[in-house]
Structure 1
């Protein structure tokens, strides 16, 4: 059965009794989340599972790290092996997956308080943290989901899949300021991660502290919230990416409205979401400033409480000049007002 809706809006919930894991996998099903969900563990054959995602049709992919999570709708995503590595790459969306970093996965049916069901495939890293969630939508093929779960279901076990991950090693000293500044603009042309490109052994986080406040400055989380709310009011197109041990998920969207939730504030676009978690989640936030020709580019970068890169956010190239200026000025005014404007 292909589940569809006459509405253009993407929905992630289904009527009660749409899914029945107990009937589908009676040997393997177990209760999760204090009895509010049923789950089946997946067998870890990721090279066979992920190529089947196009069968599911339209799904919502969610990934998070530290103070940020992002979500984007995938329409029949096709993943291929990344040359020279075990990573999987979706050329259409730019998403990269590292299956060797997965510690396990489950198919989960959640029972919402409204009497609805949510169905998803959830994956965890080697430390047991959630790193990727694939939610079924009203555009998903539910029969394909049940077939995939049935084929990859297995009994609960403690076996960890993939290679062990290593804790990132932080440099013992702050990098040299002049060295960082010399290669600074090249940073804007690289895919963001926790390492600083061009300087071996230098972390991105420590480089921000060393480069000088005309290039990077700390932001309070309320400043980011205020800026994002203004971007909604002025229909500014945003783009960003979240990175964790197993997933690199880029997202581009025009935020149309926001909503408060128990974990923070979420910006909603037509097919994507951005959540900024509350201050109870550790980590810090930085503004980074680059120049491309005569254009000033300012991005927001989020780090976890260990100083690892979590996510980045900025204005998309489709933005009008006045929208880009609005974004830049709000971020500069918040943390840069004391600087000599001559350095700009």
Structure 2
């Protein structure tokens, strides 16, 4: 098993260091864990027996009971962005270790194979002069990184939460987990070794955006490499201010968009309007009713407008990558299968400014 229990004395020391970092430096759990050199999953596992309750690792059955909690807040993040949605989990299903939640508000693609540790967390939080208990379900991968969190609101079904935790409580409430080191950044295959002409032909033959994943696999290319090698008419590298511009434009015009944020074990999707776009230091925020997005603009290494052929016409996305080539987020116009892309969305993304060095190259042409 990948999840193991370390000696209790060591776990107690980790918990004390973690809580001290939270309290003295006023850090969130993820940052407090990083401050003492461990993953957030390891920190929460060290709190088993106190703030955290270890849950049985029967992730599919456990997670598909989340609809019992009523309206909650769903949180999915990666290193660069946090995606939060208020609503109820609905229409949950799975096929093997791949799951779906297709509710009107909470829309998830779930990859249970990556999940390794689950816990219920009950901790005191202070807002202004008031202190209250915050209840959540938290799920971590084999590296101790958060896959997904479910936070109860005041109006959630707290009795259902208590019953779910009692039902899925691990009889062995021993603290600790061993997190595997993060894998090194993937090194792309040399462009000269890629069948670029075959790849470009296959791109132009797509009839569904989901075929793109198979395209990457079949030709052995990473997503950023695929955009570099794509048929030129289907990609435009744009300035890294593009996300800010498109969110502000969508908010001003009530343009409905889709925002995808994911990690190894989860993709969470917002579909609808956005509003209240705010800049706070390096953070680009959407603070809309029922949907919050917090994105570190300084972590965007490249931004691309990407078009993919489908049977419904071309579908256009704005795709963001970090310095290691990991996907930060993807934005689309709201659409359903069988429907063409919103003309207003396509016009908006096509109006985004090109990356500055491309502008200068075009000016010299």
Cα distance in 2 for partners of 1:321, 1:46 equals 37
Q: Secondary structure at the match of 2:197?
A: helix
Distance in 2 of aligned mates of 1:204 and 1:106: 33
Counterpart CA distance in 2 for 1:186 and 1:242 is 27
> Counterparts in 2 of 1:162-241, with a 5 A limit?
169-174=186-191, 175-185=194-204, 189-191=208-210, 196-197=215-216, 199-241=218-260
Which protein, 1 or 2, shows the higher relative CO under an 8 Å CA cutoff with sep ≥ 6? Answer: 1
TM-score, length of structure 1 as denominator length: 0.74
> Which of 48, 54, 57 in structure 2 is aligned with 1:42?
54
76, 87, 95: which one pairs with 2:98?
87
Asked whether the equivalents of residues 102 and 108 of structure 2 are also in contact (C-alpha less than 8 Å), the reply is: yes
Shift of 1:338: 6.6
- For the structure 1 residues 106 and 304, does the alpha-carbon distance in structure 2 shift closer, same or farther, using more than 3 Å as the test? farther
- Unaligned 5+ segments in structure 1 are 1-29
Secondary structure of 2:351's match? helix
8 Å CA contact retained: 1:101, 1:164: no
Q: After superposition, where does 1:293-308 map in structure 2 within 5 Å?
A: 297-308=315-326
Aligned equivalents of 1:195, 1:169: Cα separation in 2: 18
- Are 1:94 and 1:250, in contact at CA under 8 Å, matched by a contact in 2? yes
How many angstroms does 1:257 deviate by? 1.3
Q: Deviations over 1:95-114 (max 9, x none)?
A: 22223312313323351342
Q: What does 1:275-314 align with in structure 2 at a 5 Å threshold?
A: 275-279=294-298, 281=299, 283-290=301-308, 297-314=315-332
1:104–1:160: 8 Å Cα contact kept in structure 2? no
Go from structure 1 to structure 2 and tell me whether the alpha carbon gap of 1:266 and 1:170 turns closer, same or farther (over 3 Å shift). same
Q: Map of 1:51-200 to 2, 5 A cutoff?
A: 51-82=64-95, 85-92=96-103, 94-108=107-121, 109-114=123-128, 115-117=130-132, 118-154=134-170, 155-159=173-177, 169-174=186-191, 175-185=194-204, 189-191=208-210, 196-197=215-216, 199-200=218-219
2: CA distance, partners of 1:320 / 1:179: 27
Is the 1:194–1:203 contact (alpha carbons within 8 Å) kept by the matching residues of 2? no
Residue 40 of structure 1 deviates from its aligned partner by 0.7
d(CA) in 2 for partners of 1:81, 1:221: 36
In 2, are the aligned partners of 1:290 and 1:296 still within 8 Å (CA)?
yes
Moved more, 192-201 or 113-122: 192-201
By how many angstroms is 1:321 displaced? 5.7
Q: Following the alignment from structure 1 to structure 2, what is the Cα–Cα distance between the partners of residues 131 and 305?
A: 21
Gaps of 5+ in 2: 1-14, 24-28, 30-49
For normalisation by structure 2, the TM-score amounts to: 0.70
- Spell out, residue by residue over 1:136-158, the C-alpha distance to the aligned partner (whole angstroms, 9 max, x if none): 12431011122223444453433
More helix by share: 2
Deviation of 1:277 after TM superposition, in Å, equals 1.6
Alignment partner, residue 315 of structure 1: 333
Quickly say closer, same or farther: Cα 1:97–1:42, change in 2 above 3 A.
Answer: farther
Indicate how the Cα distance of structure 1 residues 232 and 130 shifts in structure 2: closer, same or farther if over 3 A, else same: same
Consecutive aligned runs of 4 or more in structure 1 exceeding 6 Å deviation: 163-168, 192-195
